[in-house]
Amino acid sequence: MGCGALVPDVDGPVHRYIGASPGCWATYGELLAREFSDARAYAAHRLTVYTYAVQHPGVPSRQSIQSVGVHLISLHLVLEKGYNSTPATEAMRQALTPRGRFVWLSPPSMAGTMTVLDVVSAADLEEHIDLAHRWARSVWGAWAPHHATVRQWAETVTSRWR
């Protein structure tokens, strides 16, 4: 299960536990290249990483379960709590200890959500950043049935900061 984007049907590499087709993975690579070419895109870059990971949850495995869990926590912290990417990324690191905290969350349908194709089509950096934020909100919204669980996971991590 992935994002449903109509990407080229190509042969090529894929991530070992993120559930993306070779065409989608290549498109994501184009997006990352754009973000790495301009330091002003850092905040959008973190959002695109979080968003892509949860829009392509893969199949249940220790790594995919942890990936979805920490990336959903980060989306929650950025989109609902107003954190910037630095503490959201730190929360990801802290959430991984102790291991085994997360359970598989049945992925939602991604029908109607934005995809990597929407963001990679941006004409300039300003539009790219705007589309990255819209994409993140769209995908976070798709995971609404699991928001309570994610909020609980995030509270466990952020309560240590008080």
Q: What is the pLDDT of residues 10-32, one digit of tens each?
A: 999 899 999 999 999 999 999 99
Within 41-146, residue ranges assigned H as helices are 42-55, 62-79, 85-95, 116-120, 125-142
Number of Cβ within a 10 Å radius of residue 92: 21
Return the pLDDT at 146: 98
* Composition of the chain by helix, strand, coil, percent to 5: 65, 0, 35
Distance CA 70, CA 74 (A): 6
Residue 43 has pLDDT above 80, yes or no: no
The model's pTM:
0.94
Residue 130 backbone zone (phi > 0: left; psi -120 to 50: alpha; other: beta): alpha
Distance CA 114, CA 94 (A): 29
Q: What is the pLDDT of residues 75-130, one digit of tens each?
A: 999 999 999 888 898 899 888 877 668 999 999 998 888 999 999 999 999 999 99
Distance CA 91, CA 94 (A): 5
Over range 62-71, report the average pLDDT: 95
